[in-house]
Every structure is written in C-alpha cells, then in structure tokens.
Structure 1
Amino acid sequence: MSPRLTKNWSGNDRRSIAREIGMNRFTIGMALAGAMVFSSAAAAQDDESARATRWNELAQEIFVGKQLQNGDAKISLEAPDRAFDAALVPITISVQNPEDVKSIYLVIDDNPAPVAAHFTFGPAGDPQSLKLRVRVSQYTNIHAVEETKQGVLYESHRFVKASGGCSAPSGSYDQAALAGIGDMKLRLVGDPNPGPLREAQLLIRHPNFNGMQMDPATQGYTPARFLKSIDATFGGALVFHLDSDISLAADPAISFVFKAPSKGKLAITARDSDDAVFEHSFDFDSQGS
C-alpha cells in the first residue's frame, strides 16, 4: 500500500514514496509476468493433453483393439519443427529392424484425413527408409507407426508447426494441372554399385486435388482428384503397396529401398480417385539403370 501524503512531507519523503511506487510497479509487473508464464504453461499443458486425447481416439479408430508401444528405439520420424511450406512438408521414416516390418502408417493427427499413407511391404521391399511429402492443415502431431510381422505396433511422433497446407492453392488448376497426369520418373540414389539393395525416388505427376483448394479464376473449389494407391514390383515381386489419401502432396515424390540382386524390371501402377490407372516400368540391372 502506498504511503499517505501529509502537509509536512519532505524531499526524503518524496524519494521514499517514489521508491515504494517503483517497487510496487516492479512487483505488479513481476506478478503479471508470472501469471502470463503460468497461463502459457497451462495452455501448453492443455494443448498437450488435447493432442494426447486426439491420438488415443485416432489410434482406437485406426488400430481397432490393438495396443501401441513406444517405438522410439524401433522407428524414427524426421520432420521440420516449423515447415517452410505447409503444402510440401518433407517426412523421413527410418526403422531399425527392417526385416521384421510388415507395414508402416503415417498419421497426421489433425488433418481432415489423418491417415496420409499406409505402406505394406513385399518380398522385394526393404522398409529401412521412406521419404515423402505431405500437406499439413494445422499445428499437429505426426505419427509413424510400425507394424511388425508378429502384429506388434510401435509408434513414434513429432510435433510440426504448419498450417493451411490442405487448402493452399497448388499453383495450377484444372487443365493446366492435369497436363501430363500420370507421367513418372525414377531416380536412383547413392552408389551405382551398392549391392543387392537400391534406393530410388519415384516421381509421379498428379495434382492430388483434395477438394479444399479454391480456384481464384472461378472462385469455386477444385473438385477432388487424388492418388489412392501405388503398387511397386521388381521382377514380379512386390516392393510395396501404398494406400494414400488427400494428405499426400501434389506431384508425389517417394523415396524407398528395394532388393534388386540382378537385372529386372521395376513396375509401377498408380490409381486415383477417378479410377484412372497409370502404369510405367523401368528396366535396369544391379549396376544401374
């Protein structure tokens, strides 16, 4: 409480009052700052609690009746803390024991369609590393879930700050975006003589319209048309089958590892939501394409 002023107050009194007022202001300021910090911390805890609740609900819907275990020692997920472009968020998934892996799920918790990708691996596949790009609608946890051949589920996650990726304009619309749809390229990565395992990047031209992007020319929403599945085989043996949805970025670029011990043909079949089928094959041997 500030001292009362009297008729006989002196300069010393004035300085004393000033000091007390200053201290009171400092105390009030510190109290307000503390309250703000506490409020921010409480909000962060609430956000974390809400994210945990959201994930529990999703996990029950996606993995009905199954329990998920902490997979930080089994599967890792790399993603930027803050995405430069929410419509092109790069994701890298790595597993420690690829020979034990049956499939991998990528789940973007707060996207309109959370299951962005589900890779199932065949005898010609090696799930040690996957890379792809996705759309992110808002700040969210992203989960990578490994399903072992024994049916055990391991999860790892990252929190990513990105927003607006699902409704962001693709930069081209309608006929311009559909020109060359289904065209494919394959790039081999790394040492040209690496042995029986090869890493490749598959590029597919497809706008992956999700129905939420507005065409500025018409002021209407561009109808959804997106890739729903991709099958990759080598020498007739399955490398991977991918089930995807509207969270996959436009013009998908997917890096994967496969077994190519000898000459063979890597064949790709992609299907979209309009039931269009796109096929391409790449001939190469174990020494390169």
Structure 2
Amino acid sequence: MAPTSQRRQALQGLGLLLLAPQGWATNPPPRPAPPPNPEHSARWQGIRRSLFGDQALLEPGSALQLDMPARAVDAAQVPLRLQAQPLPQAGEVQALWLVIDENPSPLSMALTLHGPALAFVQTRVRVDSYTHVRAIARWRDGSLRMATHYIKAAGGCAAPPLPAQGARALGDIELQVQSPAEGVQELQARIEHPNHNGLALDPLTRLATPAHFLSELKLSLDEQPLLQAQLDFSISDPPTLSLRWRGAAQGQLRLHATDNRDQHFQQTLQLCAVPR
C-alpha cells in the first residue's frame, strides 16, 4: 500500500475514534459539586451558640418546611416561604427564626407568635452569595426543629435600590385578608419603604445609600397580639409579608411597623366576617 493511502486510512480511523460515543465514557463531563455540609459553616455555628446554646436541633420531617428556589433569578428579590404544622405531641409553634448564613447580617427575621397565630411567613429576601438558608422553629414543649435549603445566588445585598414607583408615601401600608383554607385567615401586607441596607451604591451618585429599613412589625387583633417580628435589612424592598392565623377573626386588625430610624407606621383593617 502506498504511504499516502496508509496516512489517509490512519487519519480516517483517528476521526472515527474521536467521534465514537464511547469516547465520552472515558472522559464524562464533570458533575456539579454537591452543596457544602451545612454544619461546616463557622458563621452558623456562632449564631447557633448565640441563639440556642447547646440545645439540640431535631430533624423537622414534614413538620417544618422552607420553600425557595435552588438558584435565584434575582438575588435581590428571592421568594421564600416557611411554615410549620403543630405536632400533636408537641403543641403549637411559639417562635420562628430565619437565618441566611452568608449574608452580611445573617439573622434575617425572628418571630414570636401569640394565641391563634400560625407558623407561616411568605416574603422576599436578599441573598448575598451561595449560602445555606435555615428556618428554625420552637415548639411549645421547648424543642427546636430546623429546615435547611442551599441556594445559589450572588450580589443581592449590593444590588442598587429599585426606582421609586409613582408618588406613594413612605410608610403607606396595603392590607388584604383572605381565607386560603377552612378555619384559616391570611394577611397579605405590602409596606412602602426603601429598606436600604447601607451596602448598595446609588446608580446616579455612586455613593452608598444610607441604611434605612424596617426593624420591627407587630400584628394585633382588637389590641390582642398575634405576632411580633424583628426584621433585618435582608428583607427585599418594598417589604411584603404574608402571615396566617387560625379561626374566623372579627374585629380591628392592626399592623404597626417601626424602622431603624424610629419612624412608626401603622394601618388598620376592620374584619367583619370570614373572607371568601
């Protein structure tokens, strides 16, 4: 066989080898790295000791749920819902905490529940980098349960503030009550507030926007407390929250909000019957 023909056949064979499917079997594409161990977060371990000492955190099972995306579309506006159902042997939930490990201020929310208030919160949060997010609930018997979620997001705390929407005044509050299930009522609240975290640059001046965010919410019915929430600047702007309680409440529902500049805002809603 002529040398030219031999070279042609060798090159053809090499091409077939490169195109063969079994070539992928020897060098498959790399698999995505698994999420890091949630217990290896030094920041979380510090928060855990500060809030709960050496108390055990039990496996939540189906009793505690934390729902949010695996990857954020917008790290400054990440939807989040946490909820817990009472366990028959443990009683109702009395408190909830939301921790975002790698945010500049990890403890994003702490709720104290009263009377018929249910352990349910739906809101939007800022996420600064790839991180574990944790919901911790304390039952009436004192036991703690934790649900953990790993999310891929970056830059949510440094994102520029949203442009002003119309001429709405600072502290305007919109309240709406619905009945998502029999015997349950849900408040949907939107508070007109910039919720600046002090970390983002103004896109026009290129200067840091001073921190100005809601720090506390109180919800009551006929002056009887339903819940109290300590908030951090991790809540997205404008702040929106959904909260639930059990029973067909009637009377004056009041939402009172305070920000880090000691400004106070409130709105009331008269409940006359179970919403349909």
TM-score grouping bracket, smaller chain normalisation: 0.7 to 0.9
Task: Please provide the CA RMSD for this pair.
Answer: 3.0
Q: 2:250 aligns with which of 239, 263, 272?
A: 263
User: Which stretch shows the higher mean deviation, 56-65 or 67-76?
Assistant: 56-65
Q: Which residue of 2 aligns with 1:172?
A: 163
1:150 aligns with 2:137: no
Verify the 8 A CA contact 2:185 2:248 in the aligned structure 1: no
**Cα distance, 1:108 vs. partner?**
1.1
Q: Which residue of 2 aligns with 1:52?
A: 39
**Cα distance, 1:248 vs. partner?**
0.7
Q: Which residue of 1 aligns with 2:101?
A: 109
- Under a length normalisation based on structure 1, what TM-score does the superposition of the two structures give? 0.80
Q: Which residue of 2 aligns with 1:4?
A: none
Q: Which residue of 2 aligns with 1:66?
A: 55
> Taking structure 1 as reference, are residues 57 and 177 closer, same or farther at Cα in structure 2, changes over 3 Å only?
farther
> Taking structure 1 as reference, are residues 177 and 148 closer, same or farther at Cα in structure 2, changes over 3 Å only?
farther
**Structure 2: gaps spanning 5 or more residues:** none
**Structure 1: gaps spanning 5 or more residues:** 1-7
Verify the 8 A CA contact 1:178 1:207 in the aligned structure 2: no
Q: Which residue of 2 aligns with 1:82?
A: 71
**Cα distance, 1:134 vs. partner?**
0.6
**Cα distance, 1:274 vs. partner?**
0.6
Identical-pair percentage = 28
Residue-by-residue CA offset, 1:145-184 (whole Å, 9 max, x unaligned): 11111221101122222221111112237xx899611111
Q: 1:120 aligns with which of 112, 115, 130?
A: 112
**Cα distance, 1:121 vs. partner?**
0.2
Letter in 1 for 2:27: A
Q: Which protein is richer in helix relative to its size?
A: 1
**Cα distance, 1:23 vs. partner?**
9.3
Superposition map of 1:1-289 within 5 A: 14=7, 33=27, 37=30, 44=33, 48-49=36-37, 51-54=38-41, 55-97=44-86, 99-127=91-119, 129-172=120-163, 180-190=169-179, 194-195=182-183, 197-259=184-246, 261-288=248-275
Letter in 2 for 1:107: V
Residue-by-residue CA offset, 1:46-92 (whole Å, 9 max, x unaligned): x513x431144442333222221111322011111222221111111
Provide the C-alpha distance between the structure 2 equivalents of 1:223 and 1:32, rounded to a whole number of angstroms: 55
> Taking structure 1 as reference, are residues 177 and 101 closer, same or farther at Cα in structure 2, changes over 3 Å only?
farther
Provide the C-alpha distance between the structure 2 equivalents of 1:273 and 1:194, rounded to a whole number of angstroms: 37
SS at match of 1:251: coil
Letter in 2 for 1:92: R
In the alignment of these two chains, the number of paired residues is 269
